[in-house]
Structure 1
Amino acid sequence: MKTPVQLQELIDDGVIDEVLRPLKSGKEAAVYVVRTGDQVRCAKVYKDMAQRSFQQRVQYQEGRKVRGSREARAMAKASKYGRKQQEQEWKNTEVDALYQLRAAGVRVPEPFGYFHGVLVMELVTDAEGFSAPRLGEVALEAGQARDYHRVLLEQIKLMLCCGLIHGDLSPYNVLIGPDGPIVIDFPQVVSAAGNNAARTMLLRDVNNLTAYLGRSAPELLDTWYGEQMWELFQAGDLYPDTVLTGEYTPDESAVDLDSVREAINDAREMALIREQGRRAAEEEDY
């Protein structure tokens, strides 16, 4: 295997010692298994994105803090310099989120540093030491589905307590380690307080996982964890130790409950279709 230029820089700087193999390749990044001393880790090499992709990121970037006023102006004008800064901010967002969430006790890979556009972090493995499978690749019994749903809802709650929403959570960016689910892929993470679409994205994250796990445990489909979390968050009553029940009573005088339920079910079905397409596209990358 030819060593990617970005990883060769890390070898030259002594950050890593060897690139062992490719692990995963997607539209925005390629992940490699690397060795540092006697430790096996993974390195996420971000790909440069075309201007087309920036337009798709607008909904995620609303409410994010930009490091300087010059950069903010350039990004708003979409100049060449602004697009370059926007790309850099996009990458920095995942790095910052991983450190913040890891410190808050969220089940995410441990980051070891960001060098030359490459994020070096923990390689999540299964009980045998092989690369951990994604949730969407694992056959589940009802009890496992309920346990994974409980753990993942806890992670979403802890993220929200940090003011963050994953924004693209699905069965294909959750890894299953020996101790349960680990959430990955955070470049699109959303500011819960600063993004007008935050509630929509939170509900989509919850519904994506609930729809998938509900195949094995159908009773999960009749829960309202996302709505309950958001209501508590807005009221300032959501804390890491808050016990969630999945029960939620909307204001029926202002909301057409049947339409809300129908919209949620439609979103879940579309999420499953989208994930099937994404999985097929990722398989073509190999």
Structure 2
Amino acid sequence: MYNVPMKIPKRIQPLVDDGLVDEVKSQLMSGKEASVYVVRCGETIRCAKVYKEISQRSFKKATAYREGRKVRNSRRDRAMEKGSGFGRDQQEKVWQSAEVDALYKLAAAGVRVPEPYGCFDGVLLMELVTDDEGYVAPRLNDVVISPEQAVQDHQVMMGYVVKMLCVGLIHGDLSEFNVLVDESGPVIIDLPQAVDAAANNNAEWMLTRDVNNIRDYYAQFAPELLSTEYAKEMWALYEKGELKPDSKLTGEFKEDETAADLDSIIQEIESARAEELNRRERLKEATEGVDDSKFNWAEPQ
């Protein structure tokens, strides 16, 4: 088995110096906002997600995702709003801490996400999700499933989205590329752009995009899912304050018969256009990433 340690990346070196990481085994992938490495911490194999500097990130429309994010320090908050050098630095820190905060919050809410172990100067240490043989778990996009399994896993994912919304969060970039599949089912990953459902004006259409991305993917295996309207059903209950973590959803929704809101229609058209561009970008990035899933990194825990 190929198991030669690679050169330690500059951003991970401080974690090695502090004894948090003992060895960097390989680069797992490189994406639009971060690079992920397989690392050894003592006897345990984990992931180290290294966030890219803002000048290197290609993540589009970050401002739309940051809307509504606040910090406790009013000076920092004002600087972030003004976009000063200090404010941009603080915005980066908020962006980097958003994922670890979301991971802790969602795990407590019963959503399956990688277990976080802390964020250190822009490097997030977290659980390496593996399959039952110890290989890196595949993304949902790389898995072929039966119609019955598709319906079951889709229901699980809708339950996770509901639980996320009940704690005030929307993934914001959920798709088959941001879900891993291990022996117990789907695991949601990549949350630095998590949206505050109550404070972000884009929350509803981001939720709709997330839910419909997942619906459309599973519908490749179970076409009957295309007729479901879980996003509209969730949001209607959420706005009424009636959405609960264990709410029993039907996937059915009756549209309001009142006159259509032209602005909303235009926004939906623009959102659909933007989503198609995002999907093409994700597909391109998926083929560019470095994937070491063929290597078995499992070691005795």
1:136-179 Cα deviation digits (max 9, x unpaired): 11112211211111111011000000010000000000000110
| Distance (whole Å) between structure 1 residues aligned to residue 139 and residue 257 of structure 2 | 39
Kindly state the Cα deviation for residue 283 of structure 1 after the two structures are TM-superposed.
2.5
**TM-score in terms of structure 2 length:** 0.87
1:65-111 Cα deviation digits (max 9, x unpaired): 22311111111111111111111110111111111111111111110
- Aligned sequence identity (%): 55
* Partner in structure 1 of residue 3 of structure 2: none
Compare the two structures and name the one with the higher helix fraction: 1
| Distance (whole Å) between structure 2 residues aligned to residue 117 and residue 52 of structure 1 | 13
Is 1:117 paired with 2:93?
no
Q: Which residue of the other structure, out of 92, 106, 114, is the alignment partner of 1:101?
A: 106
Is 1:277 paired with 2:281?
yes
| Distance (whole Å) between structure 1 residues aligned to residue 176 and residue 14 of structure 2 | 33
1:217-242 Cα deviation digits (max 9, x unpaired): 11100001010000101111111111
* Partner in structure 2 of residue 66 of structure 1: 71
* Partner in structure 2 of residue 133 of structure 1: 138
Kindly state the Cα deviation for residue 49 of structure 1 after the two structures are TM-superposed.
1.0
Letter in 2 for 1:245: T
Task: Summarize the alignment of residues 125-274 of structure 1 with structure 2, pairs less than 5 Å apart.
Answer: 125-255=130-260, 267=272, 271=275, 274=278
| Distance (whole Å) between structure 2 residues aligned to residue 245 and residue 41 of structure 1 | 38
Unaligned regions of 5+ residues in structure 2, if any?
1-5, 291-301
Range with bigger deviation, 7-16 or 50-59: 50-59
Q: Which residue of the other structure, out of 83, 94, 101, is the alignment partner of 1:78?
A: 83
Provide the alpha-carbon RMSD of the alignment: 2.2
Letter in 2 for 1:76: E
- Number of equivalent positions: 280
Letter in 2 for 1:281: E
Unaligned regions of 5+ residues in structure 1, if any?
none
Matched residue of 1:4: which SS? coil
* Partner in structure 1 of residue 298 of structure 2: none
| Distance (whole Å) between structure 1 residues aligned to residue 69 and residue 108 of structure 2 | 20
| Distance (whole Å) between structure 2 residues aligned to residue 54 and residue 38 of structure 1 | 34
* Partner in structure 2 of residue 35 of structure 1: 40
Kindly state the Cα deviation for residue 51 of structure 1 after the two structures are TM-superposed.
9.4
* Partner in structure 2 of residue 17 of structure 1: 22
Kindly state the Cα deviation for residue 274 of structure 1 after the two structures are TM-superposed.
3.6
